[in-house]
Structure 1
Amino acid sequence: MSDSGPSPEIGQIVKIVKGRDRDQFSVIIKRVDDRFVYIADGDKRKVDRAKRKNMNHLKLIDHISPEVRHSFEETGKVTNGKLRFALKKFLEEHADLLKEGE
């Protein structure tokens, strides 16, 4: 199966389009393969209980959080606080994405 779409990266912001958490934003914290990733937001979905999601249920946003990426490069892990900070910063800069669904 050949998928020409962009590949997910650690630290990338995603919008959940299917499931209970639909229309919420989260961060990719681990890639399983080309089809599945683990996501967390640091608030409702903590790092230690990350959600395994099918890529078909996510919309990749063209933004990779530098804070999350640097944390993974330096220590190999990320804190819940850093995820919350990255999402808050992203949503403040891109408030137009919140109005998109209204």
Structure 2
Amino acid sequence: MDDNSLLGKVVHSKSGRDRNRYFIIVGILNEDYVYISDGDLRRIEKPKKKKIKHLIFTDIIAQDIKELITNNKKVSNSMIRKFLQVEEV
């Protein structure tokens, strides 16, 4: 699995306290874990470490956020919130 293939993907949590919430993958730890953020409860400064098997992947990719992450630029929480808000509707 290519490291950058998961970055920026919108996922749906299927277990844990954050069940039924949408997140964006903002980092990849290894083949089992990723870092997710929703810009609200899980801010970009402290993303949640989550097992991949506890996530439902959508076909939606936050392309702007993915590019910022891959270029080591700053991603704002409001940017993540806005993207998830628009995509959930």
TM-score, length-normalised on structure 1?
0.76
Q: Give the % identical residues.
A: 29
What is the SS of the residue equivalent to 2:31? coil
CA distance in 1, matches of 2:68, 2:82: 13
Q: Which residue of 2 aligns with 1:27?
A: 24
Deviating above 3 A after TM superposition, structure 1's stretches of 4 or more consecutive aligned residues are: 73-77
Which of the pair has the greater relative contact order for Cα pairs under 8 Å at 6+ separation? 2
Aligned-residue offset at 1:67: 2.2
Letter aligned with residue 83 of structure 1: I
Alignment map for 1:1-102 (pairs within 5 Å): 9-92=6-89
What value does the CA root-mean-square deviation take over the aligned residues?
Answer: 1.9
Q: Are the equivalent residues in 2 in contact too, given 1:15–1:61 (CA < 8 A)?
A: yes
Q: Which residue of 2 aligns with 1:96?
A: none
Structure 1: stretches of 5+ with no match in the other structure = 93-102
Q: By percentage of residues, which structure has more strand?
A: 2
Structure 2: stretches of 5+ with no match in the other structure = none
CA distance in 1, matches of 2:85, 2:69: 19
Structure (1 or 2) with the larger CA radius of gyration: 1
CA distance in 2, matches of 1:22, 1:73: 27
Q: Are the equivalent residues in 2 in contact too, given 1:43–1:84 (CA < 8 A)?
A: yes
CA distance in 1, matches of 2:16, 2:52: 12
